[in-house]
Amino acid sequence: MNTSFWKAGHAPTLFAAFLYFDLSFMVWYLLGPLAVQIASDLQLTTQQRALMVATPILSGAVLRFLMGLLADRWSPKSAGLCGQVVVIGTLIGAWTLGIHSLHQALLLGVLLGMAGASFAVALPLASQWYPAQHQGKAMGIAGAGNSGTVFAALFAPALAAAFGWQNVFGFALLPLLLVLAAFALLARNAPERPAPKAVGDYLKALADRDSWWFMFFYSVTFGGFLGLASTLPGYFHDQYSLDPVKAGYYTAACVFAGSLMRPLGGALADRVGGIRSLLLMYTVASVCIAAVGFHLPSAVAALSLFVVAMLSLGAGNGAVFQLVPQRFRHSIGVMTGLIGMAGGIGGFCLTAGLGAIKQSSGDYQLGLWLFASLGVLAWFGLHNVKQRWRTTWGSAAVTAARV
């Protein structure tokens, strides 16, 4: 990464956006690593457990639209501060009052969705500081906040085993309060921000067929990353009888791989092109997920394939958002909200779907193969539109980057 990148934007804001996104993702994902322990105490079925884990994903997807609107009309920093206050208040309530039923767990999941909505704040906050030739790197670094899922997978099950899973909500407050202070001090809105969009602009964006393509592509990459990250603790426990702590370590390895590759995927897309890199990522992810759908005798073999799949999905996340600012430079807040919402819906469908299939069939096989087939469908869809993109806005973006 050359020095021109660091001189092109505002590094403290980029760092603040990453921290905010990172800790928000940690909290948004928190029910996933705790799912086995919560389900045991509340006596939940596999499908109920999956619904509990999927609820914050769906809530976050819907709230991303709202947060995208607020970031566009107020400012990314103001929207981010409001969102963090809501999440901190939610955790205080869960820690002090406790969670004693499935309905209370689902309500907690709905409120934690505000943490998932941080996506619609962090990415515009960072993106608006950087020119087209550095969008992949800037969006990749800010979006690497996906790594917050690693902290949750690593530490939440062990803390729950030692202190009880309800107290994990209290532990999570400590880093959140520190990041709230850092975000307030370091983050700055870009001096040249797009004019606020009306609600009708969101409907207008949905009339553009490219919006739907981007939403679909991200629902596979990010939805796949988040859906697998949320499902894997239960998968390793159900399929290979791993205890919650060990299942958390296995999951952490997978989500670390996907989080690490998001900024690298953005940088790779800057170098070789977002379309080309995304086609490769869909290929690798689909093959690995299809392979792990077979009854592998070893948890290590399944882990290896999941790691490679998550590497590809994480890189695909970076590649998608290398392309988004090129196509929607003047409506990045709108499109970040819409595309992020689609990614969250994809994650919800994958998590809830895998749980329902496991409950009804006793196995995850069919669900994994269906997801792999979506990756194949995304590959053909991208291949079909690439020529039109390269000869219209794609060529214009390359010309602008060279000026």
pLDDT value of residue 394: 61
Q: What average pLDDT is seen over the chain?
A: 89
Asked if the model's pLDDT at residue 151 lies above 70, the reply is yes
- Spatial contact of 217 and 319, defined as CB atoms under 8 Å apart: no
Give the domains, in start order, of the chain with CATH numbers: 11-188+199-398 (1.20.1250.20)
SS3 category, 294: coil
- Spatial contact of 234 and 248, defined as CB atoms under 8 Å apart: no
SS3 category, 118: coil
For residue 363, give the DSSP letter. -
Comparing 90-99, 150-159, 166-175, 325-334, which segment has the lowest mean pLDDT? 325-334
Comparing 216-230, 260-274, 275-289, 290-304, which segment has the lowest mean pLDDT? 260-274
For residue 194, give the DSSP letter. P
C-alpha separations of 95 from 88, 193, 350 in Å: 11, 39, 29
Cβ contacts of 103-109, under 8 Å, gap ≥ 24:
105/31, 105/38, 105/42, 105/52, 105/55, 106/51, 106/52, 106/55, 108/31, 108/56, 109/31, 109/52, 109/53, 109/54, 109/55, 109/56, 109/59
pTM of the model: 0.87
CA angle 349, 355, 357 (to 5 degrees): 95
The stretch 127-133 carries a mean pLDDT of 81
pLDDT value of residue 359: 95
Q: Tell me the per-residue pLDDT of 82-92, one tens digit each, with 9 for 90 and over.
A: 999 999 999 99
- Percent of the chain residues past pLDDT 90, beyond the cut: 65
Asked if the model's pLDDT at residue 403 lies above 60, the reply is no
Q: Which two tokens stand for residue 267?
A: 């940088």
pLDDT value of residue 400: 39
pLDDT value of residue 201: 74
In one letter, which amino acid is 26?
M
Q: Tell me the per-residue pLDDT of 227-259, one tens digit each, with 9 for 90 and over.
A: 999 999 999 999 999 999 999 999 999 999 988
Alpha-carbon distance of 268 to 285, in angstroms, equals: 17
- Spatial contact of 324 and 342, defined as CB atoms under 8 Å apart: no
Give me the count of residues in the chain: 403
CA angle 390, 396, 400 (to 5 degrees): 135
Asked if the model's pLDDT at residue 164 lies above 70, the reply is yes
Phi-psi region of 43 (alpha: psi -120 to 50; beta: other; left: phi over 0): left
In one letter, which amino acid is 81?
L
What is the C-alpha radius of gyration for the chain, rounded to an integer number of angstroms? 20
SS3 category, 42: helix
Alpha-carbon distance of 319 to 140, in angstroms, equals: 8
Asked if the model's pLDDT at residue 260 lies above 80, the reply is yes
Q: Tell me the per-residue pLDDT of 186-214, one tens digit each, with 9 for 90 and over.
A: 999 998 877 777 777 778 888 888 999 99
pLDDT value of residue 64: 83
Comparing 56-70, 96-110, 325-339, 363-377, which segment has the lowest mean pLDDT? 325-339
pLDDT value of residue 386: 84
Q: Which two tokens stand for residue 219?
A: 């629902």
pLDDT value of residue 398: 45
- Spatial contact of 312 and 288, defined as CB atoms under 8 Å apart: yes
Comparing 138-142, 193-197, 220-224, which segment has the lowest mean pLDDT? 193-197
Alpha-carbon distance of 241 to 52, in angstroms, equals: 21
pLDDT value of residue 77: 95
- Spatial contact of 113 and 119, defined as CB atoms under 8 Å apart: no
Q: Is 3 exposed, middle or buried (CB count within 10 Å of its CB: 0-12, 13-18, 19+)? A: exposed
* Cβ contacts of 98 within 8 Å, gap of 6 or more: 166
pLDDT value of residue 119: 80
The stretch 23-43 carries a mean pLDDT of 95
In this prediction, residue 377 has a pLDDT band, given cuts at 50, 70 and 90, of: very high
pLDDT value of residue 353: 96
pLDDT value of residue 329: 73
- Spatial contact of 157 and 30, defined as CB atoms under 8 Å apart: no
C-alpha separations of 313 from 66, 88, 229, 325 in Å: 26, 30, 11, 19
In one letter, which amino acid is 286?
S
